[in-house]
Amino acid sequence: MNSERYAVMPIGWVESPLVDRAQAPRQGDEGAPPAWLVFEPQMAKGIRDLRVGDDIIVLSWLDRACRDVLSTHPRDDEDSPLLGVFSTRSPDRPNPIGRHRVQILAVEGLRILVRDLEALNGTPILDVKPQSDNAAA
Amino acid sequence: MNSERYAVMPIGWVESPLVDRAQAPRQGDEGAPPAWLVFEPQMAKGIRDLRVGDDIIVLSWLDRACRDVLSTHPRDDEDSPLLGVFSTRSPDRPNPIGRHRVQILAVEGLRILVRDLEALNGTPILDVKPQSDNAAA
């Protein structure tokens, strides 16, 4: 393995009623609750144009994931054939970056409420991007 | 700023004719060339189920980005109003993780050719996921 490493830092944190993996839905559209994205004060300028109704992609750091997994049974179903992890969305993967498609329900200063977020309470947020591939920049 | 940091490691590297940012299209569908994803040998099990025709999302580390940017003119157009960076797809952002929607054109062992990748030659690859939100796991 190449020994190169890059450091990512949380720009904020998820505040959610989901507190453990057993309880979390597999995907956001399978009954995940609304959750707050709580941004660091230093990120205020970066989030200032996020609006209610915006469809965004949140990238998170799945800090409770197992990073040495390369094959997995999809959806933890032992009867499914084992798949290479890069053909799945399993949280257990070498760089456990979660990708969540959500919509903004409310904005209160540094706190942004989003619909259907399957990330656990306390999950670090790494990035937010517009969903549209035609979006600005 | 919270001092927490997480280390990401390249699972592979982009091999592309694009060598500098001035030359790179803003988005993959604006004339980006095909490029090879060249994976580390240790990742072989993880990529083994990727197939020609698969629509995938590649997450990359935009190692030539500027990480202290919080506002940007969309598409580097000085006449556009300044936007908070999390409302844009600018490569310059606190955690410069690139998100690329591409299709697999060829698979040759650890080398996977994809269509329309706007990442520069030598860009580290962090993750590959299926595009479909209904995908396995």
- ipTM for the assembly: 0.89
A63 touching B (Cβ < 8 Å): yes
Cβ distance B46 to A128 less than 8 Å, yes or no, reads no
pLDDT digits 0-9 by tens, A25-55? 666 666 788 999 999 999 999 999 999 999 9
Tell if the CB–CB gap between B6 and A124 is shorter than 8 Å.
yes
Residues of A in contact with B9 (CB under 8 A): 1-2, 4-6, 94-95
Both structure tokens of B110: 């650890």
Instruction: Please write the tens of the pLDDT for every residue from B13-66.
Output: 999 999 987 777 666 666 788 999 999 999 999 999 999 999 999 999 999 999
CB-nearest to B10 from A4, A29, A46 is A4
What pLDDT band is residue B72 in, cutting at 50, 70 and 90?
very high
Q: What is the pLDDT of residue B132?
A: 78
Work out the minimum CA distance from B84 to partner chain A, whole angstroms.
Answer: 4
| CA-based R_g, chain B, Å | 16
Identify all chain A residues contacting B2, using CB atoms and an 8 Å cutoff.
9-10, 40
